[in-house]
């Protein structure tokens, strides 16, 4: 899986961290504790997210320092990205 950073028209970011069936697992940078959400590629597009060229490793490092905390599952994915332990590739659409 290749992590991918997304950004929407409000300059909010998210990182796609996995694919499970027809849904993508992503972590959105938002208020409150960061968690992993499951959305289809169509729903992600509807929310205005587009692929960014921002480094997934840099984004993951920033997310890990999120003031409101990071869930255990989200932390696992983010640490894997930081330490380049993500196998395979990811096709968005």
- As a whole number of angstroms, the distance between CA 4 and CA 55 comes to 8
Tokens representing residue 39 in the block: 């959305």
Q: Give yes or no for residue 39 having a pLDDT over 70.
A: yes
Whole-model pTM?
0.85
Query: Which is more confident, 93 or 16?
Result: 16
Each residue's pLDDT tens digit, 2-24: 899 999 999 999 999 999 999 99
Backbone φ and ψ of 63, nearest 5°: -60, -40
DSSP string across 27-92: EE--SSSB-EEEEEHHHHHHTT-EE--S-HHHHHHHHHT-TT-B-HHHHHHHHHHHTT---S----
Each residue's pLDDT tens digit, 47-91: 999 999 999 999 999 999 999 999 999 999 999 999 986 654 454
């Amino acid at each position: 899986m290749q992590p991918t950073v997304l950004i929407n028209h409000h300059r909010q970011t998210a990182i796609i961290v996995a694919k499970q069936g027809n849904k993508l697992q992503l972590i959105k940078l938002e208020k409150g504790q960061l968690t992993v959400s499951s959305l289809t590629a169509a729903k992600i597009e509807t929310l205005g997210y587009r692929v960014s060229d921002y480094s997934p490793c840099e984004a993951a490092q920033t997310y890990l320092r999120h003031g409101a905390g990071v869930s255990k599952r989200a932390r696992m994915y983010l640490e894997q990205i930081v330490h380049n332990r993500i196998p395979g590739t990811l096709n968005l659409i």
